[in-house]
């Protein structure tokens, strides 16, 4: 079954335009509710959101859909995506839903679905939900006496998630004496992230904790870490942590304000787990975007880097199937299966802070686990069609692959969330990388 509505990470688009309209959200609620309704008993869905203005519209539409098929709806309010995943399982819900467009600006929004086990849905299940929407659900609506009910839960559940995260931090360590900048991207973790760090003993410098519905990810957060980096330098902090709008990813800055990406973070945490005999699977799972330097670094330690297609859900699927307990993405999704079912920026940050607390080493040292291979990324926007199917584009890609063979890597792919063609190339010679990426971008732009 082919999916049309769901993409790499749920459903996403511009708010109040298809597919992110109230009408479609209502249909998603009804179809997804029916997909996860068992015979008999209470059927429950937990519904969280980030801080975008459009979340109010989509929250009410989704809730109405779930109520129409007889489900109880637990409204969590602003809550990180990993908190929704955790609470879905903790509250014995049939389904978890997060309304968020992750690192995108406020104009966009999205819908992410989690099964009762707290994991993101498979491609197959998403396709089945789409089929229900296409076939119509009118005949399956609940009778009047079977309609669901909804209620909001207060910050007690936020406290439950905060305590859960804190319990992943080693009990014999403390954050006392560490000054930490935390940038919550004016998003879903604007309360829980600073609170968790402060309760563990850190001196906290908050950034991006004043959401107004329009400023999520705007000049802040993991995709715009400049504010976090500057705050580290200004306040003389030991490190900075920047989350994205739904707090399922992070980027770190060392004490000099230099950015540390997800590949270096994975190398650091994987090394700690390996030293403790706690790394399962003989390595970690990452995507095709992770730097070749990470692969070489892990190999030098006798560890393997397994690559999947882009998307943390594919990383998690491979981890579950093959027995790995760690994986992630260069962009900052870090999945620690011993603690969470999806990427969790706060939990990953606490593991980094634990290494620093245990070793006393500066973040500038801990954050440079390997020398990255020169890598260049470039996006080419297109307005329609399939530019990657163009014969000239395919010939250019083949030529570049032949040039890099054995000494580098090339990845050209269509974005799963935006109308972009993403080009990535790696090679030990930086000049070669820049040259081939610029050439491909020019060819693709001509075909777009």
* Torsion sign, CA atoms 245, 247, 253, 255: positive
Beta strand pairing status for 179-183 and 203-207? Answer: parallel
Tokens 């335009």 belong to which residue? 17
The rounded distance, in Å, linking the Cα atoms of 138 and 155 is 36
| Beta-carbon contacts of residue 368 (< 8 Å; ≥ 6 apart) | 260, 264
Task: Give the residue carrying structure tokens 């900075």.
Answer: 240
Q: Which one, of 156, 19, 100, lies nearest residue 343 by Cα? A: 100
User: How far does the chain reach from its first CA to its final CA, in angstroms?
Assistant: 28
Distance CA 367, CA 375 (A): 18
User: Which residue matches tokens 């298809």?
Assistant: 18
Cα–Cα distance list, 41 to 44, 70, 73, 92, 146 (Å): 10, 11, 15, 12, 11
Q: Which residues are CB-contacts of 206 (< 8 A; sequence separation ≥ 6)?
A: 181, 182, 184, 194
3-state secondary structure of 276: coil
For residue 271, what are the contacts with CB-CB under 8 A and spacing of at least 6? 301, 369
Note whether 345 and 245 are within 8 A (CB).
no
Q: Is 364 a catalytic residue?
A: no
Q: For residue 247, is it left (φ>0), alpha (ψ between -120 and 50) or beta?
A: left
- C-alpha radius of gyration, the chain, whole number: 22
Phi first, then psi: give them for residue 104, nearest 5 degrees: -75, 165
Cα separation, 447 vs 380, whole angstroms: 11
Distance CA 4, CA 23 (A): 17
Q: Decide: 236 and 331 in contact? Cβ < 8 Å.
A: no
Q: Pick the catalytic residue from 54, 100, 102, 331.
A: 102
Q: Mind telling me the catalytic residues?
A: 102
């Amino acid at each position: 079954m082919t999916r049309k509505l769901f993409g790499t990470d749920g459903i996403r688009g511009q708010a109040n335009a298809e597919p992110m309209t109230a009408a479609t959200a209502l249909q998603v609620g009804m179809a997804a509710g029916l997909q996860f309704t068992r015979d008999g008993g209470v059927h429950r869905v937990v519904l969280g959101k980030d801080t975008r203005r459009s979340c109010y519209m989509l929250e009410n539409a989704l809730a109405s859909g779930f109520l129409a098929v007889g489900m109880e709806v637990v409204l969590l309010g602003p809550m990180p995506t990993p908190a929704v995943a955790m609470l879905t399982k903790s509250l014995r819900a049939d389904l978890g839903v997060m309304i968020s467009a992750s690192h995108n600006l406020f104009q966009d929004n999205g819908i992410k679905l989690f099964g009762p086990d707290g994991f993101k849905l498979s491609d197959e299940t998403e396709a089945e939900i789409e089929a229900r929407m296409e076939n119509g659900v009118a005949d399956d609506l609940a009778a009047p006496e079977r309609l669901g009910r909804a209620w909001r839960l207060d910050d007690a559940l936020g406290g439950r998630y905060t305590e859960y995260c804190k319990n992943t931090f080693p009990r014999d360590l403390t954050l006392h004496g560490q000054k930490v900048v935390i940038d919550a991207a004016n998003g879903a973790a604007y309360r829980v992230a600073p609170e968790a760090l402060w309760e563990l003993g850190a001196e906290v410098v908050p950034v991006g904790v004043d959401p107004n519905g329009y400023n999520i990810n705007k000049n802040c957060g993991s995709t715009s870490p400049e504010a976090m980096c500057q705050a580290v330098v200004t306040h003389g902090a030991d490190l900075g942590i920047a989350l994205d709008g739904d707090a399922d990813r992070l980027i770190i800055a060392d004490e000099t304000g230099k950015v540390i990406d997800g590949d270096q973070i994975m190398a650091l945490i994987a090394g700690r787990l390996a030293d403790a005999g706690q790394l399962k699977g003989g390595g970690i799972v990452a995507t095709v975007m992770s730097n070749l330097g990470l692969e070489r670094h892990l190999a030098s330690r006798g560890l393997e880097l397994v690559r999947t297609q882009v998307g943390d859900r594919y990383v998690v699927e491979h981890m579950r199937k093959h027995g790995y307990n760690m994986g992630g993405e260069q962009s900052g999704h870090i999945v620690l299966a011993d603690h969470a079912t999806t990427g969790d920026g706060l939990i990953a940050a606490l593991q980094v802070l634990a290494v620093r607390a245990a070793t006393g080493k500066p973040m500038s040292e801990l954050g440079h686990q390997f020398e990255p291979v020169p890598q260049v990324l470039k996006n080419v926007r297109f307005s329609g069609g399939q530019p990657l199917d163009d014969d000239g584009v395919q010939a250019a890609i083949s030529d570049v692959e032949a040039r890099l063979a054995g000494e580098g890597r090339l990845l050209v792919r269509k974005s799963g969330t935006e109308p972009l063609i993403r080009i990535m190339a790696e090679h030990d010679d930086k000049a070669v990388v820049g040259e081939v990426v610029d050439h491909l971008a020019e060819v693709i732009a001509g075909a777009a």
